[in-house]
Structure 1
Amino acid sequence: MMVPEITPEEQVELDRALYDALKPLASAVRSRETGLPADRMWDGDPVDVALSVLAAWKVVDAEVKRLTANAAATAGSYGASYAQLGSVWGITRQGARKKWPDAVSRPVLSTSTLELFGGTAELVQTSPGGWAWTAKGADGASSAADEGTSYPSTEEAAAHAGAFLKEHALDAVRRP
């Protein structure tokens, strides 16, 4: 996704909306600083008035940063990567990770052990939707899922590991 460009008309509308949203906050800041009634709060030294407006923009800037982090976290919770977040923001993947370090959660991969036919298999989550296995049969033979093979569920990986363990059970060795 590219960084969105806005038209000159959209820029004018955005500026107008931001200034309209800023006016009540800037007025409140100015009123608190001067103690002047509403009809005179903008009276005074132009530097002081401009600094009151700047102080209000600082509050807005902090709020925009907070809302931006929330939006990045929401996108990350739906599966967006840091590369995608960076692309939208016009920065690198690394820049996005630095800007919003908790936006994309790393899945906690899990493992479980399966004991069947005198052998043991370890089921390993290789990705959020993938599973693999390694096993050692009762006869001492070892094996694993083929390189690059990923099963869609722990049950399917367990079935393949279980078939290996059955094939390498001690009573299977004694069979004619």
Structure 2
Amino acid sequence: MSTPEITTTERTALDRILLDALDPLASAMRARATGYSADRMWAADPSEVALAVLGTWKVVDQEVERLTATAARTAASYGAGYDRLGAAWGLTRQGARRKWPDAVDGPAAAPRDGSVLELFGGTAELFADVTSGGWRWSARGADGAHSGELDTPLLARKEEAAAHAGAFLKEHSTQADRTPAAPAAG
């Protein structure tokens, strides 16, 4: 896969769309920073307006980086390795590994399968969210409390989902589940 190219017409249309989307965000950010209303932003000193726009592009750039990392993790969850991620972004395999170090699990993009935890008398299941590249969990505690997959936060790593699920199971255990077993008489 090669790096996508866009035509001059597509670039012009994209510029217009991005600038139209940026304008309200830049106005709102400048209004918060200065205390002036958003409708007065463009009447300010031109250099201040340009700096507000530049600061807003930084925010947009950070969001694009976040969404790019999510797309890389999603591609990896479907089996793409660093060689293919790099090709899509115009990087070498090593460049892709540096850009998205946690995108690919292991030497080849292994499918992100779930797991089942049995702790404190309850059970939790971990689920990979392939659209975001994150993890969710659902659990039923020993006391009968239930937390569904969509009730739980999206987490970056499987280990985080396991920790949250474990904390839920501990919180919803019964007293007998929390008490350590007595040593066997011998």
Structure 2 match to 1:7: 7
Residue aligned with 2:36, SS? coil
Query: Does 1:44 pair with 2:47?
Result: no
Query: Does 1:66 pair with 2:80?
Result: no
Structure 2 match to 1:35: 35
Structure-2-length-normalised TM-score: 0.56
CA distance in 2, matches of 1:37, 1:14: 28
Query: Does 1:75 pair with 2:61?
Result: no
CA distance in 1, matches of 2:84, 2:9: 28
Letter in 1 for 2:66: R
Structure 2 match to 1:138: none
CA distance in 1, matches of 2:97, 2:73: 11
* 1:95-174 to 2 correspondences below 5 Å: 95-106=95-106, 107=110
Unaligned runs of 5+ in 1: 109-176
Deviation at 1:89, TM superposition (A): 0.5
CA distance in 1, matches of 2:28, 2:22: 10
Residue aligned with 2:42, SS? coil
Structure 1 match to 2:90: 90
Deviation at 1:33, TM superposition (A): 2.0
Letter in 1 for 2:89: W
Letter in 1 for 2:26: A
Letter in 2 for 1:74: T
Unaligned runs of 5+ in 2: 112-186
Letter in 2 for 1:96: A
Residue aligned with 1:42, SS? helix
Percent identity reads: 65
* CA distances 1:54-75 after superposition (whole Å, capped 9, x unpaired): 1100000000000000000000
CA distance in 1, matches of 2:10, 2:99: 27
CA distance in 2, matches of 1:50, 1:87: 35
Contact preservation (8 Å) 1:30, 1:42: no
Equivalent residue pairs, number = 108
CA distance in 2, matches of 1:38, 1:58: 19
Bigger Cα displacement from structure 2, 38-47 vs 89-98: 38-47
CA distance in 2, matches of 1:25, 1:39: 12
CA distance in 2, matches of 1:105, 1:63: 23
CA distance in 1, matches of 2:59, 2:38: 21
Residue aligned with 2:43, SS? coil
